[in-house]
C-alpha cells in the first residue's frame, strides 16, 4: 500500500511539472500532449510487460522462448490468464506450507517479489498461445467428458467453467486450458485428485476429479491439447 501511495504522489508531482512546461504552448499541441500523458498514466501495464520480459530470462530454460515449453511436463504459459498466473506463483512461493507445493517452482518463486510476480504474469499473458493435437483414439471419450461430464457419477462438464474453446473465464481467473501439453494437464488432474494440489477455491477442481478414472483423465487431457 505504501508503495502505491508513493507512486501516486510522484505522478502528481510529474503532472504539476508537466503543466508548468506546457502552459505557454498552443491549444492543439497542449491537447495532444495531455492525451499522451493521460494514456501513459492510466495504462502503466506496458512497462510491467517489459520488466516481465527481462525477468523471464530465468524461466526460458523450462517454459520456453515466448512461453511455449518444449518439454510436455512443463506447462505452456503463453496467453494464460494473468490473475491465475500470479496466484500460482504466490502459492508456489509458500513452499511446503502452501497448497501447490512443487520443489522446482518453490526455489524459483521464493526469489520473486510481489511486483516481479505481477510483471511476469502480465508478460506471459501478453504472449500468443499455440495449439497442439488430440490423439484420434482419445477424441470421442475426451470430448464427451469435456462437453458433457459424466452423469452417472454426477461429474460436471469442464465446458461449464473452462468454456467451449477452453479459454477459461477471464474475470473469474479460471485458467485457459486450450493447447496445453496433455502430459502436464493429466499430471495436474492427478494432483488435484490426490489433493497434492489444493489451491482450487471451494474445491472446484477436487470435486470434479475425485471419481474420474485414469483413462478419463488421459482422454480429456488429450482432447484439451487440440481444443481451440
Ligand atoms: C527448472 C524448470 C523450471 C523453471 C526454470 C521455471 N519453471 Fe515454472 N514450472 C516448472 C514446472 C515443472 C511446473 C509445474 C509444477 C507443478 O506440477 O505444479 C511449473 C509451473 C509454473 C506455473 C504454473 C502454470 C499453470 O498453468 O498452472 C507458473 C505460473 C510458472 N511455472 C512460472 C514460472 C516463471 C515465471 C519462471 C521464471 C521466473 C519459471 N516458472 C521457471 C518448471 C520450471
Ligand atoms: C466448477 C468450475 C470448474 C469445472 C467444472 C472444471 N474446472 Fe478446472 N479449474 C477450475 C478452477 C477455478 C481452476 C483454477 C484452480 C487454481 O486456481 O489453482 C481450474 C484449474 C484446472 C486445471 C489446472 C490448469 C493449469 O494450468 O495448471 C486443469 C488442468 C483443469 N482445471 C481441468 C479441468 C477439466 C479437465 C475439467 C472437466 C473434467 C474441469 N477442469 C472442470 C474450475 C473448474
Are 76 and 129 a contacting pair, CB within 8 Å? yes
- Residue 79 sits in which domain range? 49-125
Number of structural domains the chain divides into: 2
Same domain (yes/no): 111, 15: no
Same domain (yes/no): 56, 36: no
pLDDT digits (tens, 9 = 90+) for 129-165: 999 999 999 999 999 999 999 988 889 999 999 999 9
Same domain (yes/no): 158, 211: yes
Same domain (yes/no): 120, 137: no
- Select from 125, 146, 176 the last residue of a domain: 125
Distance CA 185, CA 217 (A): 9
Candidates 150, 226, 162, 164; CA nearest to 200 is 162
Map residue 77 onto helix, strand or coil.
coil
CA 184 to ligand 2 center in whole angstroms: 13
- Select from 125, 142, 159 the last residue of a domain: 125
Map residue 226 onto helix, strand or coil.
coil
Ligand 2 pocket (Cβ < 6 Å) reads 75, 87, 145, 156, 158, 160-162, 174-175, 177, 185, 188-189, 199-200, 204-205, 208, 220
pTM, to two decimals? 0.85
- Select from 80, 106, 125 the last residue of a domain: 125
pLDDT digits (tens, 9 = 90+) for 71-104: 999 999 999 999 999 999 999 999 999 999 999 9
Same domain (yes/no): 117, 151: no
Q: Which ligand is closest to the CA of 102, given by its number? A: 1
Same domain (yes/no): 116, 202: no
Ligand 1 pocket (Cβ < 6 Å) reads 58-59, 61-63, 74-75, 77, 80, 85, 88-89, 100, 102, 104-105, 108, 120, 187
* Helical spans, DSSP H, in the chain: 2-22, 27-42, 45-55, 60-63, 82-93, 103-109, 114-125, 139-148, 159-162, 182-193, 204-209, 214-225
Work out which ligand 1 atom sits closest to the CA atom of 124. 35
Amino acid at each position: 500500500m505504501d508503495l502505491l501511495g508513493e507512486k501516486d504522489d510522484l505522478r502528481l508531482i510529474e503532472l504539476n511539472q508537466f503543466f508548468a512546461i506546457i502552459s505557454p504552448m498552443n491549444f492543439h499541441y497542449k491537447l495532444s500532449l495531455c492525451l499522451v500523458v493521460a494514456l501513459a498514466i492510466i495504462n502503466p501495464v506496458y512497462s510491467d510487460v517489459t520488466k516481465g520480459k527481462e525477468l523471464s530470462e530465468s524461466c526460458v530454460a523450462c517454459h520456453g522462448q515466448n512461453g511455449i515449453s518444449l518439454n510436455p511436463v512443463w506447462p505452456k504459459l503463453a496467453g494464460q490468464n494473468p490473475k491465475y498466473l500470479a496466484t500460482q506463483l504466490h502459492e508456489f512461493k509458500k513452499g511446503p506450507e502452501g497448497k501447490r507445493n512443487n520443489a522446482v517452482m518453490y526455489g524459483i518463486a521464493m526469489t520473486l517479489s510481489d511486483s516481479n510476480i505481477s510483471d511476469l504474469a502480465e508478460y506471459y499473458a501478453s504472449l500468443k498461445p499455440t495449439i497442439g493435437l488430440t490423439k484420434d483414439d482419445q477424441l470421442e471419450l475426451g470430448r464427451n467428458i469435456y462437453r458433457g461430464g459424466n452423469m452417472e457419477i454426477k461429474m460436471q462438464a469442464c465446458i461449464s467453467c473452462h468454456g467451449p474453446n477452453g479459454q477459461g473465464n477471464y474475470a473469474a481467473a479460471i485458467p485457459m486450458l486450450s493447447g496445453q501439453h496433455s502430459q502436464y494437464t493429466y499430471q495436474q488432474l492427478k494432483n488435484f485428485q490426490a489433493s497434492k494440489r489444493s489451491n482450487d477455491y471451494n474445491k472446484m477442481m477436487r470435486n470434479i476429479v475425485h471419481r474420474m478414472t485414469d483413462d478419463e483423465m488421459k482422454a480429456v487431457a488429450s482432447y484439451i491439447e487440440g481444443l481451440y
